[in-house]
Amino acid sequence: MIGKTLKELSAALANKQISSVELTQLHLDRIARLNPEINAFVTVDTEKSLAQADAADARIAAGMADPLTGIPIAQKDIFCAKGWRTTCGSRMLGNFVSPYDATVISKFDAAGAVNLGKTNMDEFAMGSSNETSYFGAVKNPWDIQRVPGGSSGGSAAAVAALMAPAATGTDTGGSIRQPAALCNLTGLKPTYGVVSRWGMIAFASSLDQAGPMARTAEDCALMLNAMAGFDDKDSTSLDRTTEDYSRELAANVGEKPLAGLKIGLPKEFFGEGCDAGVMTCVQDAIAEYKKLGAETVEVSLPNMQHGVAAYYVIAPAEASSNLSRFDGVRYGYRAPEYGNLDDMYQKSRAQGFGDEVKRRILIGTYVLSHGYYDAYYLQAQRIRRLIAQDFVDAFKQCDVIMGPTSPCTAFGLGEKSADPVQMYLSDIYTIAVNLAGLPGMSIPCGFSSGLPVGLQLIGDYFAETRLNIAHRYQQTTGWHLKQAQE
Amino acid sequence: MSMNNWEVVIGIETHAQLSTQSKIFSGASTAFGAEPNTQACAVDLALPGVLPVLNRGAVDCAIKFGLAIGAEVAAKSVFARKNYFYPDLPKGYQISQFELPVVVGGKLTIQVGQGENLREKTVNLTRAHLEEDAGKSLHEDFHGKSGIDLNRAGTPLLEIVTEPDMRSSAEAVAYARALHALVRWIGICDGNMQEGSFRCDANVSVRRPGQPLGTRREIKNLNSFRFMQQAIDYEVQWQIAEIEDGRAIQQATVLFDPDTGETRMMRSKEDAHDYRYFPDPDLLPLIISPDWIERTRKTMPELPEAKKQRFVADYGLSAYDAAALTGSLEIADFYEATVSAAGKPSAKPCANWVMVDLAARLNKDDKEFGQSPVSAKQLGGLVARIADNTISNNIAKKVFEALWNGEGSSADEIIEKQGLKQITDTGAIEALIDEVLAANAAMVAEFKAGKEKAFNALVGQAMKATKGKANPQQVNELLKKKLA
């Protein structure tokens, strides 16, 4: 049962081939064995998980099961879960036990899924390698000398090491797609506003979006069915009719199932700056799509080149404000010794936050400061609108946009951590999608020097179901089935 | 030092706490006086991951205010974050409105001075915006530590800002009073100044007439009209003295100490925060449709100015009386209910009874109109009995006192029970006068000798004999006839 898809596990549970308690215990055992090396989980609570599994078994026995009932799912430690320690990868929240559930957690609970544990992540989701976590770096199961990507690196490594059948992630500038690419997973960042942000600890509110990380596109659709939906507790949640994200999975069969599909290839994605090995895999994947009947058209995203710069103004600006609540007054880390109030703030935040978080708070505070706001923050917002408009224009010529997810495969631990700008460029292909608020996906499309490569699919607003073309690809290719060897 | 050749310039910022059941961005209660931190939910505590959701009831209040002052209710306004660290500010930022406020412009007419010096003045408003209140820091009884009470955190406020239009502390206080009456009138704020529901900051500067505006100092948190007057008067004298001594005024925030009657500096401009305002990404822009404005307009009470004009037109009141009776919605409603019980022809005597007799009695017992033991219906019933000559004005005062003391449920009941009905039977009064004349021959003689005063004494005797119940006019007339 280890390494199976959600769809397969759902059937196995329904057929009573295995109970949820057994399935959960199998994964907990695997976590106990592999996690000390991989470090994908920050918190595991066997008792809580098994209690949920027990309840799921009763629900299955009563014939009340939903597709995810009884399936253990790892939760990124950015989601508040009642009674669970919720750290966000930070010393600041090292002792924080949430008194309430994030909407994403409530929705998985309502679906009968089992919370398998909280996964490691870059501190406050700030990073592309999972090396900024207070709880230590996560190792890539494909090569434990390498990073799994970030910030949802713990979730990616947990699924890639078969410690969890699937996991949640969040994506502010590529934090689902890039680790999915580096760990040979299928990861989906939905349109901004599709999944509620209530209870998801904010990094950059206007960019953050939660989504699934799993082995297949089909599993991502099942996960998203559970996660998506309007939430009156999140003012930026979109009030739309409920979607069945798996509804188009069975469509478009036959010899040329994708006949008529127009794939836009932005020339900016295929220029310099991408590893040759990655590019070869991406080109092969596009060729495969053509075989399935799709045609390609060159499009342009002329303002994308400014995306990383704009992102590193907007995201830190919002973060600098979002992270102000971590002041040591009401909860979280407080320095053991301090003089007056200012000293308490300074010491608590100096000791509670890591370097990358401090760097972004400083940048964010600077760009919002009097006299700099117009030049940085407003200018970045203008670029953001231009980038969104570039996509609107591009989607007049095509149905979906494709390119690499990450310019490189998994890099070595410590390789980029001394050079923040190099690290930031890991997200060069993913950031524009967040700035525009579009849905984006990464699917496995081959290997370069033995390391996984991801193909990025970008859809128009709310075109998540259109990304069923990932499923078509996975029906004729086997890259997503490849698993890391222990 | 003198006030000669100095012009005082004052602008007022008011924080009015809005009368919503729940907070502006959370579902927690806004009730005052609960145990510390019992009315603070996850959002108010700023737990990780929580998000604000705008309370539309607070927006209704802002719309009402905008309509009441003839301002523009903005079709689109934006919530922004005002960033600073303070222990009672849980998020490390306050959600407020900055570049695009919900209410723009508007004016308020104020009455300054008294009696012959009474004049009207129009104060222009700059803007009013919605924001959340902070919690409270408690600096006592915690063994040297400070306590934080977050019950108030997230309470909706409307910050109302004027142009620098006021030229004296009296005008500033008149504005504050008029604004206080208005927010209570339209039901958006309870106006309780002790509990901090209505608090003002005064921006004060002085200049030579015709010169550009002087540097201002802001007096924070004035929570009574008296303190406002004292604080501004002190501040003005201080600024003039500084300038006349050759020292320039530095921009600063000051606090008023009611014990010393002085203002003292809290922070200088150099210490001013850079609040790093930016639009709150957790909240969408506030879009107010014309429809929403019209729906709200329909729930508004008649405004003071319109009511005043109607009182003059419909009840024949003087402008002065109409203004006094529209000083608050409570008084106006009380008055109209009194008229409705007494009958419209008695509208003028009703005005006197409400403004003079009842007001004085309430004042004596330190009561508000809402706490009056005599209801409008009872008072109207009393005025009606004067109008139909059942009782005289003098007896009416007795009946009023009896109503006040709860001796009966209506004027009629008291008149009946205590036998206060006026004697109007000519025959009975004539007989009575004959008795009085017979018993007071000396007075009659004095009158006939030309002493006019004796006549009044005889009237008095007649009234006394009936315990004041005889119709005084009839007594007068019949006595004159008898003595002729």
Burial class (CB in 10 A: 0-12, 13-18, 19+), A239: exposed
**SS3 of B208-257:** CCCCCCCCCEEEEEECCHHHHHHHHHHHHHHHHHHHHCCCCCCCEEEEEE
Q: Is B85 within 8 Å of A206 when comparing Cβ atoms?
A: no
Measuring CA to CA, how many Å separate B422 from each of B343, B386, B431, B436, B464? 20, 10, 16, 18, 13
Q: Is A324 within 8 Å of B50 when comparing Cβ atoms?
A: no
ipTM of the complex: 0.96
State the best of B43, B47, B55, B78 to mutate against chain A, taking most chain A CBs within 10 Å: B47
Which of these is catalytic: A151, A152, A320, A417?
A151
A contacts of B278 (beta carbons < 8 Å): 317, 321, 368, 373, 377
With bands split at pLDDT 50, 70 and 90, how would you rate the model's confidence at B427?
Answer: confident
pLDDT at A121 over 90: yes
The Cα–Cα gap between B460 and A15 comes to 110
The three-point CA angle B117-B118-B119 to 5° equals 110
Which of these is catalytic: A175, A196, A426, A442?
A175
With bands split at pLDDT 50, 70 and 90, how would you rate the model's confidence at A252?
Answer: low
Least confident range from A177-191, B130-144, B362-376: namely B130-144
Q: Is B85 within 8 Å of A327 when comparing Cβ atoms?
A: yes
A237 catalytic, yes or no? no
The pLDDT value given to residue B458: 87
A49 catalytic, yes or no? no
| Closest residue by Cα to residue A261 from A290, A235, A288, A284 | A290
The pLDDT value given to residue B273: 83
pLDDT at A365 over 90: yes
The pLDDT value given to residue B405: 94
State the best of B44, B51, B88, B150 to mutate against chain A, taking most chain A CBs within 10 Å: B51
Instruction: Tell me whether A283 touches chain B (CB under 8 Å).
Output: no
The pLDDT value given to residue B430: 85
Measuring CA to CA, how many Å separate B418 from each of B390, B413, B422? 13, 8, 12
- Please report the beta strands in A280-379, taking only residues with DSSP state E, as ranges in sequence order: 295-299
Residue A458 amino acid letter: I
CB atoms within 10 A of CB A74: 29
pLDDT at A356 over 70: yes
Contact A473, A289 (CB under 8 A): yes
Min Cα separation B47/chain A (Å): 8
Contact A464, A188 (CB under 8 A): yes
Contact A265, A403 (CB under 8 A): yes
Least confident range from A477-481, B374-378, B415-419: namely B415-419
The Cα–Cα gap between B413 and B409 comes to 7
Q: Which of residues 367-406 of A touch B (CB under 8 A)?
A: 368-370, 373, 377
Helices (H) and strands (E) in chain B, counts: 16, 17
DSSP class of residue A340 equals: S
The pLDDT value given to residue B456: 86
**Closest in A93, A234, A329 to B51, CB measured:** A234
State the best of A103, A327, A361 to mutate against chain B, taking most chain B CBs within 10 Å: A327
Gap between the terminal Cα atoms of chain A = 17
| Closest residue by Cα to residue B37 from B143, B147, B128 | B147
Q: Is B85 within 8 Å of A80 when comparing Cβ atoms?
A: no
Q: Which of residues 85-144 of A touch B (CB under 8 A)?
A: 86, 88, 93, 96, 98-100, 102
Least confident range from A306-320, A360-374, A452-466, B358-372: namely B358-372
Question: Residues A401-425: what's their mean pLDDT?
Answer: 93
Which of these is catalytic: A4, A7, A10, A76?
A76
pLDDT (tens digit per residue) in A201-240: 999 999 999 999 999 999 999 999 999 999 999 999 999 9
Instruction: Tell me whether B92 touches chain A (CB under 8 Å).
Output: yes
Provide the greatest CA pair distance for chain B: 99
Instruction: Tell me whether A22 touches chain B (CB under 8 Å).
Output: no
CB atoms within 10 A of CB A318: 27
The three-point CA angle A94-A98-A101 to 5° equals 140
B contacts of A326 (beta carbons < 8 Å): 48
The nearest alpha carbon in chain B to A231 belongs to B53
Measuring CA to CA, how many Å separate B350 from each of B319, B343, B469? 15, 9, 22
pLDDT (tens digit per residue) in A175-189: 999 999 999 999 999
With bands split at pLDDT 50, 70 and 90, how would you rate the model's confidence at B2?
Answer: low
Question: Residues A470-475: what's their mean pLDDT?
Answer: 95
Q: Is A206 within 8 Å of B281 when comparing Cβ atoms?
A: yes
The Cα–Cα gap between B175 and B124 comes to 10
Tokens 């002087």 sit at which residue? B214
The three-point CA angle A383-A433-A482 to 5° equals 155
pLDDT (tens digit per residue) in B280-317: 999 999 999 999 999 999 999 999 989 999 999 999 99
Measuring CA to CA, how many Å separate A200 from each of A80, A326, B359, B370? 6, 15, 58, 49
State the best of B278, B283, B286 to mutate against chain A, taking most chain A CBs within 10 Å: B278
pLDDT (tens digit per residue) in B311-326: 999 999 998 899 889 9
DSSP class of residue A426 equals: G
The pLDDT value given to residue A401: 98
Question: Residues B71-83: what's their mean pLDDT?
Answer: 98
Measuring CA to CA, how many Å separate A367 from each of A252, B79, B99, B273? 49, 19, 18, 16
The pLDDT value given to residue A166: 98
Least confident range from A93-97, B89-93, B175-179, B439-443: namely B439-443
Least confident range from A254-258, B219-223, B362-366: namely A254-258
| Closest residue by Cα to residue A485 from A244, A194, A12, A162 | A162
Burial class (CB in 10 A: 0-12, 13-18, 19+), B348: middle
The Cα–Cα gap between A395 and A391 comes to 6
Question: Residues A435-454: what's their mean pLDDT?
Answer: 98
The pLDDT value given to residue A199: 98
Residue B32 amino acid letter: F
Q: Which of residues 9-38 of B touch A (CB under 8 A)?
A: none
DSSP class of residue A378 equals: I
In terms of phi and psi (left: phi > 0; alpha: psi -120 to 50; beta: otherwise), the region of A260 is: left
Instruction: Tell me whether B153 touches chain A (CB under 8 Å).
Output: no
Instruction: Tell me whether A76 touches chain B (CB under 8 Å).
Output: no
At B207, which helix (H) or strand (E)? Answer: strand B198-207
Measuring CA to CA, how many Å separate B72 from each of B222, B304, B345? 28, 19, 40
B contacts of A331 (beta carbons < 8 Å): 47
B contacts of A206 (beta carbons < 8 Å): 281
pLDDT at B153 over 80: yes
Pairing of strands A400-404, B136-138: unpaired
Q: Is A206 within 8 Å of B91 when comparing Cβ atoms?
A: no
With bands split at pLDDT 50, 70 and 90, how would you rate the model's confidence at B271?
Answer: confident
**Closest in B42, B50, B284 to A236, CB measured:** B284
Q: What is the mean pLDDT of chain B?
A: 92
Q: Calculate the CA B193 to chain-centre distance.
A: 11
The Cα–Cα gap between B352 and B324 comes to 11
CB atoms within 10 A of CB A39: 22
CB atoms within 10 A of CB B104: 17
The pLDDT value given to residue B98: 97
Instruction: Tell me whether B272 touches chain A (CB under 8 Å).
Output: no
| Closest residue by Cα to residue A86 from B92, B49, B45 | B49
Residue A69 amino acid letter: T
The pLDDT value given to residue B472: 83
The Cα–Cα gap between A303 and A314 comes to 16
How many CB pairs (< 8 A) connect A and B? 94
pLDDT at A379 over 90: yes
A76 catalytic, yes or no? yes
In terms of phi and psi (left: phi > 0; alpha: psi -120 to 50; beta: otherwise), the region of A426 is: alpha
Min Cα separation A1/chain B (Å): 34
| Closest residue by Cα to residue A335 from A325, A353, A348 | A348
The Cα–Cα gap between A262 and A54 comes to 47
B contacts of A205 (beta carbons < 8 Å): 281-282
Least confident range from A50-59, A244-253, B190-199: namely A244-253
The pLDDT value given to residue B3: 66
With bands split at pLDDT 50, 70 and 90, how would you rate the model's confidence at B84?
Answer: very high
